Amino acid sequence: MAKLTLKNLNKSFYKNREAIHAVSDLSIETKDGEFVALLGPSGCGKSTTLRMIAGLEDITSGEVLIGERKLNDLHPKDRNIGLAFENYAMYPPLSVYDNISFNMRAKNVPKETIKKEIDKMASLLDLKDLLAMNPSALSGGQKQRVNIARALIRRPEVLLLDEPLSHLDGKVRQKMRTEIKHLHNEINCTTIIVTHDQLEAMALADRIAIIKDGVLQQFGTPLEVFNHPQNEFVAGFIGEPPMNIFTVFATFKEGSVYLVSKNGKLRFNVPDKYKDYLEEGKEYRFGIRPTDISVVTDDQPYSTELNVTVFENVGEECRIHIKIEEDNILSIVSEEIYKLDTGDGIKIKFDSDRIHIFDVNTGERVE
C-alpha cells in the first residue's frame, strides 16, 4: 500500500512562445489504498497530471512522491506504477495471456509463477474465457479488463486509470464501473482515475479532486463536494440535473435576512446565521438543487405565484420547469403532481438548510 503525494505540481507547455499552464500549483495527498478521481471538463489538465505521475510527461516544477520516495527523476518503469490508458495498445499477434504476461516473460519470470499470477488476475477480473483470444476479438469492456490486468500484474503501489470507461456505452459502462469498484475493494491499491464524468467520479471515488483550468477547485468526498461545494464552479459541475443558480441581492428587514431575485419575483427568508456573512444590498449568486425545491399549497406564503413553463412526469419523479424572466428554475418533486400543466400557477419553497450562496465576484462560497 502507498500514499501518493502531489506537491505544488506545475506543467507549462509552450506554443508559439506562449505558455499554456496546463497544471497550476496542484497539491493533493492520498491515503494508503484510497481511490481518488481527478474530475473536470475537457482540457482542465487531468491527463497531464496523470502523465506526470506516470513519468510520461516532464514536470515543470513541484514533486510527485509515493510515501517518502520522490519519483520526479525516475524512469516510468522504475516508479512502481500501473497504468491503464484508454487506448493502451496491445500486441495484436499475441493472445490475451501473452499480452498480460509480456513483461514477466521479458524478465524471465518462471512459467509456473506467471501462470499462478495470471490465474489470480483472471479470476479477479473475470478473464478466464478471454485468455486464449486475440486482442482484436475483444469487446471494449473486455479490452479494459485486460488493460487493467496488465497494469496490476506488476503489483504496482499505485494504479492509474485514464478514462477507462469513456468509450463504453450504457449498460457495459455501468457494469464495468461496478467491476472497477469491486476490484478496488479486493486489491485495495491506491488508485487514481481520470474522468470528465461526475457520476463516474461520485460512484467510484473515496475523494474527488475537481480541477478547472489546471487549478484545483476542491478535494473532498463525493458527499462533501455535493453538499458543500466550495465555489460556484463546483456547484454547477457536480449534480445532474445541475443546481439552479441565479443572481439575488440581500435585504435586511425586522431582524431577518431576505434574498430577492434580480427580477423581484422571488423573495425568501434565509436562516439568521447569514446575517454574519451577507451585506445589505449586495448581489450574490444563489444555488439550490432541483430536489431541494418543493411545491407548496396556495395558503402558504412562500413565494409569489409563478407559472409552470414545462411539466414532465418521468415516472419516479415529476420535473417542473419555471421560467422567471432570464432565469430557468427546475424543481424535482416525488409527489404525484399529475395535474400540473404549462401555464399553471404554483408557489415554491426552498429547503433553507440546503441553500448555497456564492460571492458574485470570486465565485467562492459564502459561510
Dist. CA 145–CA 176, nearest whole Å? 8
The x, y and z cell numbers of residue 321, run together, are 420547469
Q: Which is nearer to ligand ATP, 48 or 198 (CB)?
A: 48
The x, y and z cell numbers of residue 191, run together, are 488508485
Quick check: 48 binds ligand ATP (CB under 6 A)? yes
Quick check: 47 binds ligand ATP (CB under 6 A)? yes
CB of 165 to ligand ATP, least distance (A): 13
Quick check: 87 binds ligand ATP (CB under 6 A)? no
Q: Which is nearer to ligand ATP, 163 or 327 (CB)?
A: 163
* Residue positions counted in the chain: 367
Q: How many C-beta atoms surround the C-beta of residue 280 within 10 A? A: 11
> 194 CB contacts (<8 Å, ≥6 apart)?
37, 38, 46, 47, 49, 50, 160, 161, 162, 163
* Residue 11 near residue 48 (C-beta atoms within 8 A): yes
Pick the piece of the chain touching ligand ATP (CB under 6 A) from 42-50, 78-86, 179-187, 235-243: 42-50
Pick the piece of the chain touching ligand ATP (CB under 6 A) from 1-9, 15-23, 96-104, 106-114: 15-23
Q: How many C-beta atoms surround the C-beta of residue 119 within 10 A? A: 13
Q: Which is nearer to ligand ATP, 21 or 347 (CB)?
A: 21
CB of 163 to ligand ATP, least distance (A): 7
Quick check: 43 binds ligand ATP (CB under 6 A)? yes
Pick the piece of the chain touching ligand ATP (CB under 6 A) from 37-45, 197-205, 273-281, 341-349: 37-45
- Counting residues that bind ligand ATP (by CB under 6 A) gives 13
Look at residue 99 and give its three-state secondary structure: helix
Which residue is it, cell 487531468? 46
Give the strands of the sheet with 306-313, arranged side by side. Answer: 293-296, 345-350, 306-313, 318-324, 327-333
Quick check: 19 binds ligand ATP (CB under 6 A)? no
Pick the piece of the chain touching ligand ATP (CB under 6 A) from 28-36, 44-52, 304-312, 359-367: 44-52
| DSSP assignments along 249-315, one per residue | EEEEETTEEEEEETTSS-EEEE-GGGGGT--TT-EEEEEE-GGGEEEE-TTS-SS--EEEEEEEE-S
CB of 11 to ligand ATP, least distance (A): 8
Residue 349 CB burial class (10 angstroms; 0-12, 13-18, ≥19): middle
Pick the piece of the chain touching ligand ATP (CB under 6 A) from 38-46, 229-237, 300-308, 330-338: 38-46
CB of 67 to ligand ATP, least distance (A): 26
Dist. CA 334–CA 321, nearest whole Å? 14
Q: Which is nearer to ligand ATP, 205 or 340 (CB)?
A: 205
Q: Which is nearer to ligand ATP, 45 or 135 (CB)?
A: 45
Quick check: 45 binds ligand ATP (CB under 6 A)? yes
Quick check: 46 binds ligand ATP (CB under 6 A)? yes
Strand partners, 66: 4, 69
Quick check: 20 binds ligand ATP (CB under 6 A)? yes
User: Which residues contact ligand ATP (rule: CB under 6 A)?
Assistant: 13, 15, 20, 22, 40, 42-48, 196
